[in-house]
């Protein structure tokens, strides 16, 4: 079956709802893009994504999220040559599940005090609400960057573009459309507006 894809609906400009609580239960479609849209994470071969070591690290760090944060679950996702799409579900949770966010272990810096200004070339505002989407994405990008910097050719180079794109999934049809797009993304690479060959000088 041909994947559902509406280019008029799918865009990467962040449209946020005023006064929306981004830590409440719900589902979100998120996109992050590499610095200057460089193809750091692999390549598309015959309509399939072939991850390189950097791409495998990004995938690993994404799959690690629900292991560290008990109040999130993952939906469909795809690592592309120069960007990443994923669906993330916020679950109902109790205060105890936030313990990991305030642990004094240096590997779990409290999210409310974490910033990526000097880490990955994608600064986010200081002080996002703990357990919010902004805090989770900040930590995900930072953790992936620290691991990616162990690759000699990427050491101390910017990895991500500033900020990220986020879409609130409102119903089952919206969820299906985003899932279909994620699954079809590799075969649509030639037409993707993030593909370097489609970027006008």
- Domain extent, residue 169, equals 26-184
Indicate the range of 8-17, 49-58, 110-119 predicted with least confidence: 110-119
Does the residue 56 lie in any domain?
yes
Does the residue 19 lie in any domain?
no
Q: What is the mean pLDDT of residues 136-151?
A: 95
Does the residue 65 lie in any domain?
yes
Confidence of residue 163 (pLDDT cuts 50, 70, 90): confident
Residue carrying the six token digits 């993952």? 74
Does the residue 73 lie in any domain?
yes
What pLDDT score was predicted for residue 22?
A: 56
User: Is a pLDDT exceeding 70 seen at residue 43?
Assistant: yes
CATH code, domain carrying 49? 3.30.70.1290
Does the residue 109 lie in any domain?
yes
Q: What is the mean pLDDT of residues 47-62?
A: 97
Does the residue 55 lie in any domain?
yes
Q: How many domains does the chain have?
A: 1
Does the residue 14 lie in any domain?
no
Q: What percent of the chain has pLDDT over 70?
A: 67
Q: Is 12 left (phi over 0), alpha (psi -120 to 50) or beta?
A: alpha
What pLDDT score was predicted for residue 112?
A: 30
Q: Quick check: 133 and 21 in contact, CB under 8 A?
A: no
Instruction: Compute the distance between CA of residue 174 and CA of residue 168 in angstroms, rounded to an integer.
Output: 9
Q: How many CB atoms lie within 10 A of CB 193?
A: 11
User: Is a pLDDT exceeding 60 seen at residue 152?
Assistant: yes
Mean pLDDT for the chain?
76
Whole-Å CA distances, 51 to 42, 58, 134: 4, 10, 26
């Amino acid at each position: 079956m041909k994947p559902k894809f509406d280019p008029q609906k799918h865009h990467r400009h962040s449209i946020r709802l005023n006064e929306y609580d981004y830590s409440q239960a719900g589902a979100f479609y998120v996109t992050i893009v590499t610095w200057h849209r460089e193809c750091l994470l692999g390549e598309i071969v015959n309509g399939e994504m072939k991850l390189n070591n950097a791409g495998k690290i990004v995938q690993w760090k994404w799959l690690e999220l629900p292991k560290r944060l008990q109040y999130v679950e993952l939906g469909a996702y795809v690592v592309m040559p120069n960007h990443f799409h994923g669906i993330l579900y916020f679950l109902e949770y109790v205060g105890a599940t936030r313990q990991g966010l305030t642990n004094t272990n240096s590997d779990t810096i409290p999210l409310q005090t974490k910033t990526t200004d000097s880490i990955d070339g994608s600064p986010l505002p200081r002080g996002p609400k703990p357990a919010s989407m902004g805090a989770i994405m900040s930590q995900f990008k930072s953790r992936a960057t620290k691991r990616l910097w162990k690759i000699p050719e990427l050491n101390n180079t910017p990895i991500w573009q500033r900020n990220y794109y986020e879409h609130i999934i409102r119903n089952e049809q919206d969820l299906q459309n985003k899932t279909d797009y994620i699954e079809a993304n590799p075969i649509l690479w030639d037409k993707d507006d993030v593909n370097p060959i489609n970027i006008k000088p």
